[in-house]
Amino acid sequence: MSKFSFPHITLPNIQIPGLDRLPKVDLPKISLPSLHSIDLTAIDLSRLNPSAVLQNPVVKQATEIGYTAVGFAVLGFQKLQVRRVELFDAIKARNNTAQ
């Protein structure tokens, strides 16, 4: 039984100038409202017109932006998969020529 081990990779130390001047945020001190404290019983949904909401130009534009973002994400993921296959093929070809 052979034991596989990954090669040791050293990542470069990247210095970003001005990073120390950014404001620090302490996340545990941020207080968000609890969803249990929101009272939704006072909202009358019978007066809501869904077709009017969907015809709003801002809602239409936000929907189109969302569709475009999802499309770009799918294309990016597919391109990443193609690059992965190309990389494995290149490594396999390199190992075959080295033997």
Three-state SS annotation for the chain:
CCCCCCCCCCCCCCCCCCHHHCCCCCHHHCCCCCHHHCCCCCCCHHHCCHHHHHHCHHHHHHHHHHHHHHHHHHHHHHHHHHHHHHHHHHHHHHHHHHC
Residue 7 maps to a domain: no
Residue 94 maps to a domain: yes
Q: Supply the range of the domain harboring residue 57.
A: 50-99
Residue 70 maps to a domain: yes
Residue 80 maps to a domain: yes
pLDDT confidence of residue 6: 67
**What pLDDT tens digit does each residue of the chain (99 aa) get?**
556 676 777 767 777 777 778 777 777 777 777 777 778 788 888 888 888 888 888 989 999 999 999 999 999 999 999 999 999 988 888 887 766
Residue 91 maps to a domain: yes
As a whole number of angstroms, the distance between CA 51 and CA 64 comes to 17
Q: How many domains does the chain have?
A: 1
Q: What is the pLDDT of residues 51-73, one digit of tens each?
A: 888 888 898 999 999 999 999 99
Residue 43 maps to a domain: no
What pTM was computed for the model? Answer: 0.44
Do you know the residue count of the chain? 99
Residue 63 maps to a domain: yes
